[in-house]
Amino acid sequence: MSNLTWTEQDAKAVDIARVLAADAVEKVGNGHPGTAVSLAPVAYLLYAKVMKADPAEPRWLGRDRFVLSAGHSSMTQYAQLYLNGFGLELNDIASLRTWGSLTPGHPEFGLTKGVECTTGPLGAGVANAVGFAMSARRSRELYDPQAVPGESVFDHNVYCIAGDGCMQEGVSGEASSLAATQNLGNLFLIYDDNRISIEGDTQIAFSEDVQARYAAYGWDTYHVDFTNGFTSYEEKVAELYDVLERAKAVTDKPHFIKVTTVIGWPLPTKAGDHSVHGSKLGGAEISALKAELGFADAPFAIDTAVVDAVRANAVARAQAARAEWDPRYAAWRAANPEQAALLDRVLAKEAPADLDAALPVFEPGSMATRAASGKVLSALAQPVPELWGGSADLAGSNNTTMAGVKSFIPAERSSHEFTGAPGGRTLHFGIREHAMGNIANAITMDGLSRVYCATFLVFSDYMRTTPRLAALSHAPTTFVWTHDSVGVGEDGPTHQPVEHVMSLRLMPNIDVVRPGDANETAHGWAQILRTTNRPAALILSRQNLAIFDRSEGTGFAAASKTALGGYVLKEASAEPQVVLVGTGSELQVAVKAAEALEADGIAARVVSLPCYEWFQDQSDDYREQVLPAAIPKVVIEAGVSVGWKDLLGANTEAVGIDHFGASADGALLFEKFGITADAAVAKAKALVG
């Protein structure tokens, strides 16, 4: 006998969700109604019976998290946010997919209350859900390390709905494999097995046993079959509820629940037809559906008394959850004032007040910026306890392991190199770049810590959608991408980025940070941590770079100016005739070129441009002072030259690489490809002459 209470009112609320999905898509003329119609009972069960939530405070710390990986079926979530009183009203539902609405085509983080993350690219939400589950564990160990797992105010569950498309995307497999390795017992993935995608029946391209795959990963798996072996149809909400409750007893494995459905059920003539996946249903089908369900044949004609009752139930459930949680939270704050102060600072999106004082200062010499970054991270470990992260199996190359901290892996998975602990701060993503980026984004959007993830810059192609989603979501994830040019050397053109840095600059709302020496790297990290409304791409060198002597009297500006994005590193001997602009490893080339020009009587200013986006944030006056519009410029960057005239002005020439690299020593490649001071001098003289 199930413990689920399911009344006629619950059934009516489910039908309201179905009708709203059909009407909303019909009104706008496009969208994805089918899954929202057939999954309505599953989504309603989660929101009204299973998950802990507080509609009056959607970001309540004690809430469970919900991710709609099948983001195209946005009405699956919007209907529940409306029914349960999260702030959406009927006019918002009727405004689906229209300008200025709170109900865009795919759920967007920061726009609609109750949406935990932006989903749309299929499978990404599965990886997001893994990230939220990892964040829950890390948050408990960061803020409440003495608590018994499962009993902390920071413990909660993560629920995700995914579809066939999500299961086909490789990113879901990457993330799901890692979730099993991480023993994420707080993660519940519901797979809508409806066997339909845009091209029709999935059997033309997808024939595997998905549940068996998840069992092989090491998940705790279940099957709830609404079709009774395709002999009849029964929405087994009680069975699904019991499975979810039973699964909670398994705390060392993530949970996979395959729910076999018929897309669009109970549509009278189109249930199971692939047309309902991505097209409006048509007036006749909607009228027949409403007749079958007992609704008036008019758009959005629903029984608001049922909505009121569902909202009252949501309030009552929230009050009960808060009555249990709030006293425990107050007791935790009283017993842990330091952790409470840390939580308050993190939730306020504030960096530590003494952040700059914690930065290492690098003496003149040489060091790869990736190596400098590793030393910076180690220096920040104590003053920035909320910071954690790791690499896609390249920790030693990316230099992303903080000294003296343990790894975020179950203790039984420790290796000779890495010791695991629940509160570890070194993340091991394995060779799973795409999943890594989505996991990091979810940790960031959860808002309880700051995270970074890393790989080689050339492999950012594997995870390209993730910085874009972070930028779209205003999520300050830090993407550390090393080995940033042909300076990679002998590994050859497959591993040598050429177009990557400039292409990242084309992406809106992301800071592309390419420091020119070790001290710029330190201050670059500080500014990244102060930035809370957009992600950063930190681009670092494999090879050693000169560390400039910035002491008084040397003529080199302080590295603290890195936060300005662009600054005069070394002034010309007189009114400048040309400005040499360097980024990253080519800043030292700009300095050498300026010295040669000065020796020839041409006054040359050197400007470091570690982050064009930060530079654009400065005043017009400041930018004109640093890069006067009337003075010609030569920019040096070991990447494509396209775009620099647009960024710095028509009187700009670029020293760059507009072709792929080669397998040889990195220094030789710079010479062969003309990334040299001589090349910069020649372009400068041509501009001045």
The set of catalytic residues is 433
Confirm if 605 and 630 have CB atoms less than 8 A apart. no
CA dihedral sign of residues 416, 381, 158, 72: negative
Number of other residues whose CB lies within 10 A of the CB of residue 90: 14
- Residue 230 tokens read as 């395709």
Omega within 30 of 0 (cis) for the link into 268 = no
- The burial class, CB within 10 Å (0-12 / 13-18 / 19+), for 179 is buried
- Residue 575 tokens read as 């009114």
**Distance separating alpha carbons of residues 560 and 610, to the nearest angstrom:** 12
- Nearest C-alpha neighbor of 124 from the set 70, 78, 77: 70
What length does the chain have? 689
Question: For residues 272, 274, 278 and 284, what is the CA-based torsion angle, rounded to 10 degrees?
Answer: -60
Confirm if 346 and 386 have CB atoms less than 8 A apart. yes
Tell me the angle at which helices 8-28 and 75-83 cross, rounded to the nearest 10 degrees: 130
Confirm if 436 and 453 have CB atoms less than 8 A apart. yes
**Distance separating alpha carbons of residues 35 and 418, to the nearest angstrom:** 44
Strands 544-547 and 578-582, bridge-based pairing: unpaired
**List of long-range contacts for 201-206, beta carbons under 8 Å, 24+ apart:** 201/274, 202/164, 202/168, 205/168, 206/164, 206/167, 206/168
CA dihedral sign of residues 483, 487, 492, 494: positive
Q: Which residues, listed in sequence order, are joined to residue 450 by a DSSP beta bridge?
A: 387
Confirm if 193 and 210 have CB atoms less than 8 A apart. yes
**Distance separating alpha carbons of residues 680 and 689, to the nearest angstrom:** 14
Strands 365-368 and 544-547, bridge-based pairing: antiparallel
Amino acid (one-letter) located at 132: F
Q: Could you give the C-alpha distances from 160 to 170, 611, 688, in angstroms and in order?
A: 17, 37, 61
What SS3 string covers 492-512?
CHHHCCCCHHHHHHCCCCCEE
**Distance separating alpha carbons of residues 222 and 224, to the nearest angstrom:** 7
Which DSSP symbol is given to 254?
-
- The burial class, CB within 10 Å (0-12 / 13-18 / 19+), for 481 is buried
Which DSSP string do the residues of 151-180 spell out, in sequence order? -STT---EEEEE-HHHHHSHHHHHHHHHHH
